[in-house]
Amino acid sequence: MPAISFEFYPPKTDEQRAQLDRTAEKLKGYAPEYVSCTFGAGGSTLSYTSETVRHLNQKHGFMAAPHLSCVGGSREEIRELLKLYRAIGCKRIVALRGDLPSGMGHPGDLRYASDLVAFIRAEHGDSFHIEVACYPETHPQSEDALADLKHFKAKVDAGADGAITQYFYNPDAYFHFVDAVRKLGVDVPIVPGIMPIANFTQLRRFSEACGAEIPRWIGKRMQAYGDDADSVREFGADVVARLCERLIAGGAPSLHFYTLNLAKPTQNVLARLGG
Ligand code: FAD
């Protein structure tokens, strides 16, 4: 079994909190290197992320890393959050630009994730291990694929220790991305972000928004299964497990699972990898 990490989102209702607890109980046994907790841009889930990080550490004994996005935030707000994370013992942060919810006005004091990484380093030196995001299939808003590679390198030059990719289902996208950034001199670990397939309709919608491609052959097969949830689940787990095997065989340093706070889809993949 490769080294793994799990990503959760901060629950907002009692029902969601109970679900996260059940999921955390089930996934604990895989001994993740760390878990991370997403952050809603624009401040709306500001407190939920820190609360959830605290809860994951205290109740479940994880080493939880908050995601922190700079869009829509002032330097002062980000400074306060960093102080809080330091005070509650966080050693690791996933630093992002984030996306402004439509209609939100102020872009914030820091424009890009590279500015946020530089800010964290300037304020806290090496106190945090910093992960950043990267996009093997190119970030949807970048001017072009080569510019996106350079912007990724700028985040590493600003002080990022590692990167987690947007999810993808074509391993060659990952291998080409890694080769390209190595040629630019980037030497930090690049961990594939793995999205298990739970609800295909939701995944398709999600993918359109974030620029992740679902290969036609996967879409066609899922379409044919329709409401046959067992077949969707089995086929999805087979596809994602094979992707993971190829990534590990090709040198991926570890795997980061987007759990969406559900245990089963991730467990179905890990079971096929011998977990
Ligand atoms: P950046 O690295 O700043 O890049 C954003 C865009 O700007 C890219 O197109 C890049 O090419 C371009 N760019 C960068 N620098 C420059 C420059 N100097 N000049 C011109 N263009 C430039 N979103 C959330 O809201 N909360 C989360 O918790 C969250 N977690 C995530 C975790 C992972 C692992 C990933 C892959 C994504 C996550 N996201 C999250 C989504 C992310 O916030 C969006 O993809 C966002 O649009 C870009 O964030 P970034 O940090 O990659 O931005």
> What's the ipTM?
0.99
CATH 3.20.20.220 fits 3-272, yes or no: yes
Using one digit for the tens of pLDDT, what is the confidence trace for 207-254?
998 989 999 999 999 999 999 999 999 999 999 999 999 999 999 999
Q: Is the CB of 6 under 6 A from ligand 1?
A: no
DSSP category for residue 194: E
| In the chain, where the domains are located | 3-272
Q: Which atom of ligand 1 is least distant from the CA of 113?
A: 3
- Listed as ranges, residues in the chain with pLDDT below 70 are 41-46, 102-105
Helices (H) and strands (E) in the chain, counts: 10, 9
Q: How many CB atoms lie within 10 A of CB 186?
A: 19
233 CA → ligand 1 middle, Å:
30
Q: Which residues contact 115 (CB under 8 A, 6 or more apart)?
A: 70, 158
Is-contact 269 244, C-beta < 8 A? yes
Residue 101 has what pLDDT?
Answer: 73
Active site residue 7: yes
Nearest CA, atom 46, ligand 1: 98
Nearest CA, atom 44, ligand 1: 98
Q: Is the CB of 35 under 6 A from ligand 1?
A: no
Q: Is the CB of 112 under 6 A from ligand 1?
A: yes
Q: 197 by DSSP, 3-state: which?
A: coil
Q: Which atom of ligand 1 is least distant from the CA of 37?
A: 28
Residue 40 has what pLDDT?
Answer: 82
Q: Rounded to the nearest 5°, which phi and psi values hold at 163?
A: -140, 150
Is-contact 91 131, C-beta < 8 A? no
Distance CA(270)–CA(259), nearest Å, equals 12
The whole model's pTM is what? 0.97
Tokens matching residue 46: 């500001």
Q: Is the CB of 55 under 6 A from ligand 1?
A: no
Nearest CA, atom 16, ligand 1: 151
Residue 251 has what pLDDT?
Answer: 97
